[in-house]
Structure 1
């Protein structure tokens, strides 16, 4: 990067150097994909999995809009079946929840259970600076656009919901309470429910994880962790079955995914995984099959507890298989292009729905005469191209500078080793 080579040798160089602090490749760790380095705690596989997760979210929303604009009544039975199976953006969110639980456990383990009372406040400040400013900009821009133009998006199920006032919806979205208060997704940005769950998790999960780590590492702690997982599964299934809509989209319902990720991280740290690695290397399709099964299990069916348990098992297989070296699955996850998608995944999440809402409707209107799967192919090409172009622009201009600000919120005493911890946990959102 040219900016990174500029020195403050003259007054004219101050601006490029200042820009380099926010936009240089080294300003935020983890942008380039590379193999794991256990000595530094570098886990690019998690970054690749974040890329996979956000692609599932984007493709799920894309297919939903193709189905709505094309017309469900125009589809034959097997086409409806495929749309029901593949148009499941929630599957990507479940994978992101699992990764967040895993990354938080790794982070707390690395910090050695520091008793510094300000550490929790610092982490909350960092997370706030990481997610709130870009989210505010998306919400504010959407509110201003809708207010100025009077535009009402078609083919949406969430826009015409409570509250009646977009300003009220905007204000409660900003404090991550929209779903809990109104039992509806944020009107200006329906995927904001995921951010609300994540904020709830970060406020509650950090304390649960810290309590768990106070137990002496070993079989007893893992046994307690498994019992907690069973408890969380039962509570989640009850919440999904009998809870209000706000509860069904709260951390109560999604806690099994977070906790299963944490439990897998604890097991991997304190247990010899060589035999598991050898077994997974022989059965090299485990990671791919786990991912395929997770997508298939994404559509609601049958007993909620059975489906939830199956999803958690698939997620565990995916994460565990991703760390087995010299496999096609692991090599795919550490590729540079997937790492870039993973790093920009938050920006992609924030802007993809608005872009798809416009692009997919235009494509369907103009190419409706095509066979449905040719139409889907066109929508995937134009939809993903537009989403990636806008998302990476948003990442560099909006999200990335705030990532640097959030990193600088850390205590100045953190060493370069801590920097490697940031690299693997900072993108855990």
Structure 2
């Protein structure tokens, strides 16, 4: 599969936003920031916006998975469901279930207590519908992603036109669902379910499906696109106030704010600029060794972060205090990546979409 630049850097930004947002919730790490300057406060809001960080993860994930499927289809004329789900399992399951094993051992030791429903939703990737305990609540986003990838390969197999229509339909459908839940709320629904977050992944898929056409149209306007998207992202928190001045604040009901469709479109523009745009300062930052390595560790950081952050209903030990908890998060992620993820990633490579010589001969025969 073609390797796209800047992707690990975008993953790094995603996970850093998530970690900083959660650290501020549990340790108030930005309490020193008393600045009254509105622009600086918008920057602070962005740095602590863990929901925006998750949306970056969704858009990037949709783009990469669809690019992988397109690559396989171009090489073989079809896609292998078996190889796809084996690859996904080897990528997600080992590190994830190892964390749950550690949690189980700690529960036996009396350190944690998760109820049966918490365990069931964690084990079955349905955490998006039940996230009452802090230490597993962040798995909701992985639950959303895995739900999408249960059916996306099936949609993909039907054909190019159909897959494009479905991705576009999901992007359009989510704002309509938001309107419905706004006026007719139900107890089980929140902004953390697949019904209101699937548009981020679908938009990433649509970018991959139309990337040649989009890049051809945008190539002359990269700088303007990047500046617009960056300024708009920083201004998102002020949108309710600004739109209310002209009586248009109702548009945020379907489009959301930093967690919704509006944010996803801006993230998509940043992704396109980062991967296909000019290789200037932003490109060098995303592809620096530090950002690349954080991006490589991002999945393990995601899995372990909340274990080292204090929950209001849990023990506030030394490991949960800032700044040592941040150091421990990265040490745990490094151990998880090198000892668990990496061996299974090597195994996953055996099921890649690359075509072996024997496979090339088979269709002709």
TM-score (norm 1): 0.66
1:316 is aligned, of 264, 268, 284, to: 268
Residue 332 of structure 2 corresponds to residue 351 of structure 1 = no
Deviation at 1:267, TM superposition (A): 2.5
The 3 A distance-change label for structure 1 pair 187 and 240 is farther
Distance 1:398 1:329, change over 3 A: same
Distance 2:156 2:238 in 1: 30
Relative to 1, partners in 2 of residues 1:272 and 1:340: Cα closer, same or farther, differing over 3 Å?
closer
Aligned-pair distance for 1:410?
Answer: 4.2
Q: Which runs of 5+ in 2 are unaligned?
A: 241-248, 361-365
Give 1:326 shift: 2.6
Runs of 4+ deviating beyond 4 Å? 74-79, 81-86, 113-117, 185-188, 221-228, 293-298, 360-366, 410-415
Deviations 1:129-163 (A, max 9, x none): 221121111112123213313457xxxxxxxxxxx
1:131 is paired with a residue whose SS is helix
Structure 1 runs not aligned, ≥5 long: 1-39, 153-164, 216-220, 367-378, 419-429
Q: 2-side partners of 1:272 and 1:326: how far apart?
A: 15
Find the aligned partners of 1:54 and 1:139 in 2 and give their Cα distance. Answer: 20
Q: Shift of residue 306 of structure 1? A: 3.1
Alignment of 1:26-425 (within 5 A): 41-67=2-28, 86-112=47-73, 116=78, 119-150=80-111, 166-180=115-129, 183-185=130-132, 188-211=135-158, 213-214=160-161, 226=168, 229-239=171-181, 242-245=185-188, 248-271=191-214, 273=216, 276-281=218-223, 285-286=227-228, 288-289=230-231, 291-293=233-235, 303-307=252-256, 308-322=260-274, 323-357=276-310, 379=322, 382-410=324-352, 413-414=355-356
Q: How far off is 1:77 after superposition?
A: 11
**Alpha-carbon distance between aligned partners in 1 of 2:303 and 2:332, rounded to the nearest angstrom:** 10
Query: Residues of 2 paired with 1:297 and 1:362: CA distance?
Result: 40
- Alpha-carbon distance between aligned partners in 1 of 2:111 and 2:326, rounded to the nearest angstrom: 27
Give, in whole Å, the separation in 1 of the partners of 2:8 and 2:86: 22
**Contact 1:108–1:210, Cα closer than 8 Å, also in 2:** no
Q: CA contact under 8 A between 1:237 and 1:253: conserved in structure 2?
A: no
* Residue pair 1:355, 1:383 contacting (<8 A) in 2 also: yes
Considering only aligned residues, what root-mean-square deviation do their CA atoms show, in Å? 4.0
Give how far 1:53 is off: 0.4
Task: State the 1:200 CA deviation.
Answer: 0.1
Question: Normalising to structure 2: TM-score of the pair?
Answer: 0.76
Structure 1 residue 202 displacement after superposition: 0.7
CA distance in 1, matches of 2:255, 2:356: 44
Distance (whole Å) between structure 2 residues aligned to residue 315 and residue 178 of structure 1: 25
Change in CA separation of 1:145 and 1:69 when aligned onto 2, cut-off 3 Å: farther
How many residues are matched?
336
SS at match of 1:44: coil
Q: Could you give the per-residue CA deviations for residues 104-141 of structure 1, whole angstroms, max 9, x where no partner exists?
A: 22122222365657x11221122112211211111121
> What secondary structure is seen at the aligned counterpart in 2 of 1:189?
helix
The offset of 1:94, in angstroms, is 1.0
Q: Distance in 2 between matches of 1:251 and 1:148?
A: 34
Q: Distance in 1 between matches of 2:52 and 2:4?
A: 22
